[in-house]
Amino acid sequence: MNKLSLEDRAKVLTLLVEGNSLRATSRIVDVSYNTVCKLFADAGRVAGEYQDETLRDLPCKRLQLDEIWSFVYAKQKNVAGAKAAPDRSGDAWTWVAIDADTKLVASWRVGDRSAETAMEFVSDLGSRLRNRVQITSDGYKPYLEAIEGVFGGDVDYAMLVKHYGAAPEGQRRYSPAVCTGATKRRIEGNPDARHVNTSFVERQNLTMRMSIRRFTRLTNAFSKKLKNHALSVALHYFHYNFCRIHKTLRVTPAMAAGVSDRVMDMRDLAALIAAQEAPVAKRGPYKKRAA
C-alpha cells in the first residue's frame, strides 16, 4: 500500500491552509485529487479533535463573539430549485469567539443562525474558560438568552449595537446600507467600556475568508457538504491558533495563551494523522497454486 510521506502530506496541508483549492493543490503537488480529499478529511477531523482536547482551562479575560456567513451547495434562496441538494444545504454560519488579548480562537460552531445553535456555541465556550470574563457581541438577540443561560450573573457582558443607514447613491451597487455609528449597551456585570468592541473577531473573519477557499465570495469553490465545510474550519483554526505567528504578538495565539510552548506546523498535524492510522500489515509469503 502506497502512502504519502510526512513531508508530502505537510506540503498538501500547507497549500490548503494558505487558500488553495483541493484541485489546485492536487496539480501543484502532483498528487491525485482523491488522495488530497482523503488527507483533507483526516486533517480536519484530527485538527478538530486536537483543539477540542487542548483548548481547555483557558485564562481568557476579554472575549469577542461574532458570526460569519457562508453557504453549502447553494444559497438559501436557491436551495428549493437546486438539483439533488443534500440535507442541510443553504446558509451556513460559523460562530466565533476570540480572545482579544492573545488572539486565540477559543471556540467556534458551524451551523445555522438559530437560538439553539447560539446556545450550543456559548455552552461550549463556557466549558473552556478558567475564570470570569468580559464578553462583547454584536446586537444579535440570541446572544442574550444564550449568555444568560450559560453564565448567569458570572460575566461582564456588553453588546456593540451598530446602526445602519442608506448608502450614498454611488455606492449602492456594492451595499444598500452603511454603518453610521454604534452604541455600547451594558447587559450584565460591569464591562469595561474601553474594551467593548468586536474589531478583533471581525478581522479574524476576514482572515478566514482569505485563507479558506470555500469562503471566497462569487466563486464555485463553495462547500458541497456541511461536513466538509466544518472540517475546513477546524483545519483553518488549527493553523491559525498553533502555526501562524501573529505579527503583533510575535508568537502564535496558542503560545500567547499558554496552551502551547512552540510554533507548530503542518508536519505536526501530519504526524498526528499518522499516529492514528492502523499499521500496514506485512504481506505473508506467496503461496503457489497447485496445478
Each residue's pLDDT, cut to its tens digit, for the chain (291 residues) gives 358 999 999 999 999 999 999 999 999 999 999 999 999 999 999 999 999 999 999 999 999 999 999 999 998 898 988 888 888 899 999 999 999 999 999 999 999 999 999 999 999 999 999 999 999 999 999 999 999 999 999 999 999 998 877 777 666 665 667 777 889 999 999 999 999 999 999 999 999 999 988 888 877 788 899 999 999 999 999 999 999 999 999 999 999 999 999 999 999 999 999 998 866 556 666 666 665
Dist. CA 96–CA 198, nearest whole Å = 11
Cell readout for 66 is 461574532
Torsion sign (Cα): 205, 208, 210, 215 = negative
Q: Of 284, 288, 269, which is closest to residue 9 (Cα–Cα)? A: 269
Structure confidence at residue 236 (pLDDT): 96
Q: Of 109, 68, 55, which is closest to residue 252 (Cα–Cα)? A: 55
What DSSP string runs through 108-146?
EEEE-SSHHHHHHHHHHHHTTBSS--EEEEES-THHHHH
Cell readout for 26 is 492536487
Domains within the chain, CATH numbers bracketed: 57-76+87-218 (3.30.420)
First-to-last CA distance in the chain? Answer: 29
Structure confidence at residue 1 (pLDDT): 38
Dist. CA 214–CA 184, nearest whole Å = 33
Structure confidence at residue 174 (pLDDT): 57
Q: Of 167, 122, 126, 123, which is closest to residue 140 (Cα–Cα)? A: 122
3-class state of residue 78 by DSSP: helix
Write down the pTM of the prediction. Answer: 0.89
